[in-house]
Amino acid sequence: MAARELVNLVVDLNNAPLDYTRGPFEWAVLGRTRPFDTRAKRATQDDNGFYAWIDHEFGGTWSSEAFAGKNIVAKRGSRFAGFATYDSEGLKFSWLRGLGAQTGVGIFGPFGVSAEFRGSELGPALLRAALGGLRGAGHARALIPAVGSDKLIEYYEKYVGAKVAERFDRSGWHEKQWRTVVLASGQGTNFQAIIDGAASGALPLTITTLISNNPNAFALQRARAAGIPAISLPWKRGAQLRPDYDAQLSEEVRRAEPDLVLLLGWMHLLDDRFIAEFPETINIHPAFLPLAEGANEVVFPDGSSAPAFRGARAVRDALAWGSRWTGATAHRITLHTDRGPVLVRKPLAISAGETEGGVLERLHPIEHQVMREAIMRWVFER
């Protein structure tokens, strides 16, 4: 296949070799019979440790995609070994709008096996079991979306008879330059990462404006150095009512006519009118937030848990609580602070004796990665 091509594969579920059982069963792994505890069920908040393992093991957007579907989960002892998601609902990726939107077609994936078991029979068994779950749900065909390599195409063809059904040119997602407004209040390290990504062509963005509510924010200097219009818009609390400031902020954003708004260290709560007018807004938060918007606790990859550290001092709060983990989360904004739908998140372990400054320094590159991946997910959803 071409280097910049993606394909959607289709599987005829009535003729494919599928395995699906409702209880524990054994798979032949590495030439030996080893037991795996397996489950097929709708994702729930109770499975947070499983989703955190996905983030730690594979990264990207997979945990939130798995959260939207049913999952076959394989464990070896207390350790997760692999998973396959099927019958997901509510995903907005553009490659799901053709065959994936047709009646009788179920969605397969994501699908992953930990490094220890790659190349074994575990992967094919998970694949066949999940496709069996789709057949059991009444689907006649399965869509395996966004496959990007000949090796994977051959894998799916070998084990379940998959065939290429649709093709996409990846370069198409970089043809349009999305008008973007950035709101930032501090040093602007995340802002600089977005500037660099846009300049290199990795991110299909045209940054039209940087707005800061802090006249001393270094983000303003970063904008000017990059030739991006920079607006200092502090709230003069003694002389300006809050609703008047919020209206002024909305007017400045409106004037830039953005497709996308990015909150990159923005330290000012947005009012309801802003959120209603600019729903395509993504926030970066320095914590590993739960996938369930209403949850007040989050589970980490090692199975430990802590409060969901929302608010302005997330890393400081995590250290004060004694958490062994922090992380970064990019999410859509809603009326509820730091509770919008998660696009991408990534955990970071905290070492004993670390300071807030030290954790933040290690967290910055993770925030940059998470934000870049969240922006591209947003682009893929257009």
- Tokens read off for 71: 């999952």
Amino acid identity, position 210? L
With bands split at pLDDT 50, 70 and 90, how would you rate the model's confidence at 36? low
Arithmetic mean of pLDDT, 159-182:
94
354 lies in the same domain as 300: yes
Q: How much is the pLDDT for 197?
A: 98
Q: How much is the pLDDT for 231?
A: 98
Q: How much is the pLDDT for 30?
A: 37
* Exposure of 369 in the CB half-sphere (CA atoms within 13 A): 15
Q: Does the pLDDT of residue 132 top 60, yes or no?
A: yes
With bands split at pLDDT 50, 70 and 90, how would you rate the model's confidence at 304? very high
Q: How much is the pLDDT for 140?
A: 97
Arithmetic mean of pLDDT, 261-289:
96
Q: Does the pLDDT of residue 28 top 60, yes or no?
A: no
Give the residue ranges of DSSP H helices in 305-381.
314-321, 356-380
Q: Does the pLDDT of residue 378 top 50, yes or no?
A: yes
Q: How much is the pLDDT for 172?
A: 86
304 lies in the same domain as 283: yes
With bands split at pLDDT 50, 70 and 90, how would you rate the model's confidence at 35? low
With bands split at pLDDT 50, 70 and 90, how would you rate the model's confidence at 43? very low
Burial label, 160 (beta-carbon count in 10 A; 0-12, 13-18, 19+): buried
237 lies in the same domain as 369: yes
Q: How much is the pLDDT for 79?
A: 84
219 lies in the same domain as 326: yes
191 lies in the same domain as 152: no
Residues 6+ apart with CB under 8 A from 347: 52, 55, 56, 288, 300, 301, 325, 326, 327
pLDDT tens sequence across 345-360: 999 999 999 999 999 9
Q: Does the pLDDT of residue 342 top 60, yes or no?
A: yes
Q: Does the pLDDT of residue 238 top 90, yes or no?
A: no
240 lies in the same domain as 308: yes
With bands split at pLDDT 50, 70 and 90, how would you rate the model's confidence at 38? low
Crossing angle of the two packed helices 356-380 and 314-321, in degrees rounded to 10: 130
Q: Which residue has the tokens 């991006």?
A: 228
User: Could you tell me the CA-to-CA distances from 70 to 86, 135, 177, 343 in Å, in that order?
Assistant: 5, 13, 35, 18
Q: How much is the pLDDT for 89?
A: 92
142 lies in the same domain as 198: no
- Tally of structural domains, the chain: 2
Distance between CA atoms of 191 and 204, rounded to whole angstroms? Answer: 15
With bands split at pLDDT 50, 70 and 90, how would you rate the model's confidence at 46? low
With bands split at pLDDT 50, 70 and 90, how would you rate the model's confidence at 12? very high
Nearest to 367 by CA among 298, 294, 314, 319: 314
pTM, to two decimals: 0.93
Domain boundary, last residue among 172, 194, 222: 172
Arithmetic mean of pLDDT, 13-40:
57
**Of 1 and 370, the one with more pLDDT:** 370
Q: Does the pLDDT of residue 371 top 50, yes or no?
A: yes
- Of the listed ranges 31-45, 160-174, 253-267, 286-300, the least confidently predicted one is 31-45
Asked whether the beta carbons of 60 and 344 are under 8 A apart, the reply is yes
Domain boundary, last residue among 137, 172, 207: 172
Q: How much is the pLDDT for 19?
A: 59
- Of the listed ranges 4-8, 37-41, 251-255, 321-325, the least confidently predicted one is 37-41
CA torsion 148-108-90-295 (nearest 10°) is: -100
pLDDT tens sequence across 75-129: 887 888 999 999 999 999 999 999 999 999 999 999 999 998 888 888 998 999 8
Arithmetic mean of pLDDT, 373-378:
98
Domain of 52, CATH number, reads: 3.40.630.30
Distance between CA atoms of 101 and 82, rounded to whole angstroms? Answer: 27
162 lies in the same domain as 219: no
**Of 358 and 16, the one with more pLDDT:** 358
**Of 27 and 324, the one with more pLDDT:** 324
Q: Does the pLDDT of residue 278 top 90, yes or no?
A: yes
The rounded mean pLDDT for the chain is: 91
Q: How much is the pLDDT for 4?
A: 80
Domain boundary, last residue among 137, 157, 172: 172
54 lies in the same domain as 167: yes
Helix/strand/coil for 20: coil
Asked whether the beta carbons of 194 and 216 are under 8 A apart, the reply is no
Identify the domain containing residue 57 by its residue range.
5-172
202 lies in the same domain as 252: yes
Q: How many residues does this entry show for the chain?
A: 382
Q: Does the pLDDT of residue 51 top 60, yes or no?
A: yes
Q: How much is the pLDDT for 33?
A: 40
128 lies in the same domain as 224: no
Amino acid identity, position 120? S
Instruction: Determine how β-strand 25-29 pairs with β-strand 260-263.
Output: unpaired
Domain of 334, CATH number, reads: 3.40.50.170
Arithmetic mean of pLDDT, 298-307:
94
Arithmetic mean of pLDDT, 62-73:
93
182 lies in the same domain as 163: no
Distance between CA atoms of 89 and 318, rounded to whole angstroms? Answer: 33
